[in-house]
Amino acid sequence: MEKVTNLASKYNILIFSKSTCCLCYAVQILFQELNAHAHVHELDQDPDGKEIEKALIRMGCSGPVPAVFVAGKLLGSTNEVMSLHLSGSLIPLLKPNQQSCSACLS
C-alpha cells in the first residue's frame, strides 16, 4: 500500500491501469478530452502489479483497475469517475484553483 500512496502523492492525477483494459482506456480518454494531464501507471508492466491491485481493493476501489487518484485522494474506478463527470463534479476536482464555467461543465 505504501507504493500506492507514494505514487498518488507524487502526481496530481494518477490512473492505475492495465494495458489490455478497455475501461482503463475509456477513463484515460476522458481525462485527455478534459485536457487534464494524468500519469498512467500500467500494473501489468509493474513487477509489483499484483500487490498494488490488492492494495487498491483494500483501499476501497470497486475493481482493481482503473483506479483514479486526484491530489492524492482515491476517486474510485470507472463508475465513480463517470458519475462525477456526468454530475459536473469532476472538473472542479481537477482544477481546484480555477473557476468553473457553465460551458466547461456541459
Where are the chain's structural domains?
2-105
**Would you say 17 and 68 are in contact if contact means Cβ atoms under 8 Å apart?**
no
pLDDT above 90 covers what percent of the chain?
81
Confidence band of 96 (pLDDT split at 50, 70, 90): low
**What pLDDT does 103 receive?**
43
Predicted pLDDT at 95:
77
Residues 6+ apart with CB under 8 A from 9: 72
Predicted confidence (pLDDT) at residue 102 exceeds the cutoff of 70: no
Superfamily of segment(s) 2-105: Glutaredoxin (3.40.30.10)
- Residue 80 half-sphere exposure, CB side, CA atoms within 13 Å? 15
